[in-house]
Amino acid sequence: MNFNQFKISGLIFFCILAINPCSYAQNGVPDSIELSHAGKNAKTDEIYFEALKALMHDDDRQATALLQQFIAVRPEVSSAWYELSKLSYNDKNIDKAEEYIKKALSLDPENKWYKEELATLLADRGSYLEAAKIIAELARSMPQDKSYPRYAADYFQKAKKYEEALSWIDKALLRNANDEEILMQKVQLYLAMNKTEKAAEVIRQLIVKQPKNGKYYKWLGDLYDNNKMPEKATEVYEQAKQILPDDVAVQYGVARHYLLIGDTVSYRSFIKNAISNKEIDAETQLQMLSEHLQTLPNDSVVAAEGLPIARQLVAQHPDDAQVLLSYGDLLEGNTKHDSAMMAYKRAVEVNPGKFEYWEKLLIGYTEKKDADSLIKYSGKAMRLFPNVAIISYFNSIGYMNKKDYPHAVAAIKRAIDMQPETDKPVLASMYSVLADIYHSNKQDDLSDKAFVKSLEFDPANPTVLNNYSYYLSERGVKLDEAEKMSQKSLDLRPDEGTFLDTYGWIQYKKGNYLKAKDFVERAIKIAGIKADATLYDHLGNICYQMNEKSKAVEYWKISKEKGGDDPLIDKKISEGKLYE
């Protein structure tokens, strides 16, 4: 622990006394020698006060230089050495700090500030016993200071001198008999001495004094649980349940105890009561809910048990934006998208000034079907946060999804203009969106230029590499360049199904049908039931070129069932021919 709490302003008077001892003869007239000293002192005093000013302005380098000048002339001023020690400590030069503070102590051996500083330095070195002895000496010489016994106990404990530490803890308690922190320090000390029941007895004394305080029962139960004495913990909690059945600390302690001993049914019952207990604030409830959700085995259990608790918290705190946000996250994680968006919208209504809430809402509306909502809410967010580039980014996504390309281009360019050039990955993503917009509007040259710009900011962005190479393959141009970029994206993310499909499609365009089929089939296998219509359409085309026409039709049918947007899909299926 660091005793270095002395403020600069508090040192000034002390320093005046330290550097300006009275230098007058008995008759009040300075002699010639004293005049010489006075002149020297006046100059060094000025240096000292300039050092103090530098300290007050946190200019440690200037303060150190000035103090070094000062002690070169006035090495007898202990406070200067003390200040240098603190500066060295702040600079993590512990050797110098210790050298300086010992010099200060040699000049003023009884100064408590210097002793505290030395104790701190010794403790930082791990010399806890030496530090403890210094603080113990201070405690004996200054019995009016209530803090020293506790600090002495702490250092003795760290030095593994437990009996001495216990003695000083008891001295601290003589002056602070009901101090919880000191009592818990005593508990930790007994535990370090492997005296579990002695530690438990300290907590039992707290229970006797305050039998209606549930946290003490939890402390005692946790002590037994943490020391592999579950039977004793059960006894404590059975007693606590009888005395304080509605106390949140008891409910939470009992719940964690049941979880520890493997009684998950009882755990879930008690943890629900604890989380929804109205005695605690919303922030604590959310933290407890988060911890509880991590104990649940799968998403279906989270949906069945976590969502009802979250709904209860929303009912308790209908105007708490953080509760609404957390509820929305839980809904979104359990594929209840529409309900999640309602929660996010309520959160921004309650607290429109926090961008985090808007961001959740905007991210949720990035699907094509939600283009109008994304445009609407990103527009509202831009009015509140006109200088936040990412909002214009979302706005451009909305317009792109609506196929309003001029507005989409304007929005993403606005985002690019606001984004600092130091944020290269973000700028790469923005230029990639600009490239997508141009591609969708069949402005291929502009699209290519935007992709090149994106890769200038982030040459190893796998998504940009994939998208650019795919668009080139769709157009059947620069296929060798496209193949290199696609291979690079796969080197970065080898099991990404979309990237495998891109590489396969490039091979298809180059006439390497066997290799193309291998990569697209791997993409479908990785995607599983989530494999989209495009993958099956590609595989159908590849099979047709390999003269596997019946398989081609089969895959085209699957593509249509999955909602493929190829305008020629019906003709391909009905005629059994490839149209591109």
Q: What is the mean pLDDT of each run of 10 residues along the chain (580 residues)?
A: 46 44 35 41 81 89 92 91 92 92 94 94 94 95 91 95 95 88 94 95 94 95 95 96 94 95 91 93 94 86 87 96 95 92 96 95 95 97 96 97 97 96 93 96 97 96 97 96 97 96 97 97 94 95 96 95 90 92
Token pair, residue 352, equals 């429109």
Question: Cα 542 from chain centroid?
Answer: 48
- If you compute the radius of gyration of the chain from its CA atoms, what whole number of angstroms results? 36
What kind and span of H or E run contains 551? helix 549-561
Map tokens 């050495």 to a residue: 81
Report the first-to-last Cα separation within the chain, whole angstroms: 75
> How far apart, in whole angstroms, are the C-alpha atoms of residue 209 and residue 207?
5
pLDDT of residue 40: 58
Contact between residue 539 and residue 531 where contact means Cβ atoms under 8 Å apart: no
Token pair, residue 424, equals 């290269």
Superfamily of the domain at 1-125: Tetratricopeptide repeat domain (1.25.40.10)
pLDDT of residue 1: 59
The segment(s) of the chain belonging to CATH 1.25.40.10 are 1-125, 195-280
Contact between residue 441 and residue 410 where contact means Cβ atoms under 8 Å apart: no
Is 0.85 topped by the overall pTM? no
Residue 394's contacts (CB-CB under 8 Å, 6 or more residues apart) are 362, 363, 365, 366, 374, 378, 381
pLDDT of residue 305: 85
3-state secondary structure labels for all residues of 338-388: HHHHHHHHHHHHHCCCCHHHHHHHHHHCCCHHHHHHHHHHHHHHHHHCCCC
pLDDT of residue 2: 57
Token pair, residue 509, equals 């365009």
CATH of the domain spanning 195-280: 1.25.40.10
